[in-house]
Amino acid sequence: MGRYDGRVAVITGSAQGIGFGIATRLAEEGASIAVVDLDETAAAAAAARLPLVDGAKAIGVGADVSDGAAVEAAIGRVVSELGGIHVLVNNAGITRDNLLFKMSESDWDLVMNVHLKGAFLMTKAAQKHFVEQKYGKILNLSSVSSLGNRGQANYSAAKMGVQGFTRTLGIELGPFGINANAIAPGFIATEMTDATAARLKMDVEEFRKLNAEANPVRRVGFPEDIAAAAAFLCSDEASYITGQTLYVDGGAKLG
């Protein structure tokens, strides 16, 4: 008997990286999964790789989370093909790093649109179902960069915005049996941080090693670290926790 038996989880940006890690963990614990990502072929391929338990299903849905019509259609497909929705993880993300004086208006808008407008649109579409059934779990991906990070004025603002959004969801949706929390990861080894290494013209392994050495627990994080926290926060064991942001970063910002 898994903690997610009979539950349907929608995870955005889960064709790879942290999202795929969360999808894998919830699938292992019994959930049916909708992998929502920009590219439907990649989303379907990821869905096909999930370790489903008996009776659970997985589908891949192509959608841009910053497009209202695409989001409505995606949630509609999930409900009709998987029979409902119980968990929403707003994980889709991008970076467009640059120092402020070089950051373009479109770098700003793109990052805001995916992280903040995307989380808003997905949550608005899902909450109708959550309120109706008086049950729902929302998890938003923030970041340690929300506390400030050189070259990430857009991303940092969006990720701190996610925390305010999460607190407000906690207040508004709590009376309807809905919990909303956020995870703020530190350095997690994914395509996103590999791309940062490339941008800094550094070898990926060297970049990870430097980050590991600077971290109190002397290692980088992996999608499984975020997935373990996500599986707890979206479970019924965490039903008295809402509006919170949990830093899963090896203590990176403590010192």
Residues belonging to the active site: 155
Among 32, 66, 154, 215, binds ligand NAP (CB under 6 A): 66
Does residue 147 bind ligand NAP (CB under 6 A)? no
Residues 205-224 that bind ligand NAP (CB under 6 A): none
Does residue 91 bind ligand NAP (CB under 6 A)? yes
Q: Which of 218, 224, 226 lies closest to 248, judged by CA? A: 226
Binding span for ligand NAP by CB under 6 A among 124-132, 189-197, 201-209, 235-243: 189-197
Does residue 64 bind ligand NAP (CB under 6 A)? yes
Among 30, 60, 151, 185, binds ligand NAP (CB under 6 A): 185
Q: Count residues contacting ligand NAP (CB under 6 A)?
A: 28
Does residue 30 bind ligand NAP (CB under 6 A)? no
In the chain the first and final C-alpha atoms are separated, in Å, by: 41
Q: To 10 degrees, the CA torsion angle through 22, 110, 148, 242? A: -40
> Residues 6 or more apart from 15 whose CB is under 8 A from it?
35, 37, 39, 42, 43, 45, 46, 60
Judge contact between 122 and 88, C-beta under 8 A: yes
Does residue 114 bind ligand NAP (CB under 6 A)? yes
Distance CA 181, CA 103 (A): 30
> Residues 6 or more apart from 191 whose CB is under 8 A from it?
16, 17
Among 12, 24, 152, 242, binds ligand NAP (CB under 6 A): 12
Among 190, 211, 215, 235, binds ligand NAP (CB under 6 A): 190
Distance CA 38, CA 15 (A): 9
Binding span for ligand NAP by CB under 6 A among 90-98, 165-173, 208-216, 227-235: 90-98
